[in-house]
Structure 1
Amino acid sequence: MEPALSQLSKLTASETHRLDRVVVAISVNPELGTPVPDSLLRDYADDVDGVRVIYFVTALRQITIVAYVEA
């Protein structure tokens, strides 16, 4: 958890806002991204906001996210 908090603290306000928009979209529709072959992961790229998210949805609909925000 500590590495994630450290990375979040390095995001600018604009990057945080862009990432938040994508996280909300995925939370509303967890099937938004495309399945990654041979895995349970999904891949979603928002070209408008420059955010790419690889995520996993558990059986209880919890979402674990790894994100990349382009400058």
Structure 2
Amino acid sequence: MSPDPSGRRARVVMVEPALTQLTELTANGTHRLDRAIVAISVNPDLGTQVPGTLLPDYTDEIDGVRVIYYVTALRTITIVAYIEA
């Protein structure tokens, strides 16, 4: 993963379903998810497009984390819609 040359990271916001899922994670799951969210905030092009939607789906096979998200037009905010860890 190569970081954005500008050094900027997108702000990450979680919508209600993701917040609910977050409360059910263990400390280990939260730690693994945090690493994935940092990676997405630095490089929002990591995910692959969910067919029929505008939502990228990022899966980190090593950490066992999946995040479905949306990036705003100016790429300053990443909105997380779904998480698995």
Q: TM-score, normalised by structure 2?
A: 0.70
Aligned residue identity for 1:57? V
Determine whether 1:67 maps to 2:67.
no
Where structure 1 has 5 or more consecutive residues not aligned to the other structure, the ranges are none
Aligned residue identity for 1:29? N
- In the alignment, the residues of structure 2 paired with residue 49 and residue 2 of structure 1 have an alpha-carbon distance, to the nearest angstrom, of 23
- Which deviates more from structure 2 when the two are superposed, residues 32-41 or residues 6-15? 6-15
- In the alignment, the residues of structure 1 paired with residue 17 and residue 51 of structure 2 have an alpha-carbon distance, to the nearest angstrom, of 27
Name the structure where helix makes up a greater proportion of residues. 1
- Please report how far the alpha carbon of residue 4 of structure 1 lies from its aligned counterpart in structure 2 after TM superposition: 4.6
- Please report how far the alpha carbon of residue 9 of structure 1 lies from its aligned counterpart in structure 2 after TM superposition: 2.7
Determine whether 1:8 maps to 2:10.
no
- Secondary structure of the residue aligned to 1:23 is helix
CA-atom RMSD in angstroms: 1.8
Where structure 2 has 5 or more consecutive residues not aligned to the other structure, the ranges are 1-14
Deviations 1:5-35 (A, max 9, x none): 4432322110100000000000000000011
- Please report how far the alpha carbon of residue 2 of structure 1 lies from its aligned counterpart in structure 2 after TM superposition: 6.0
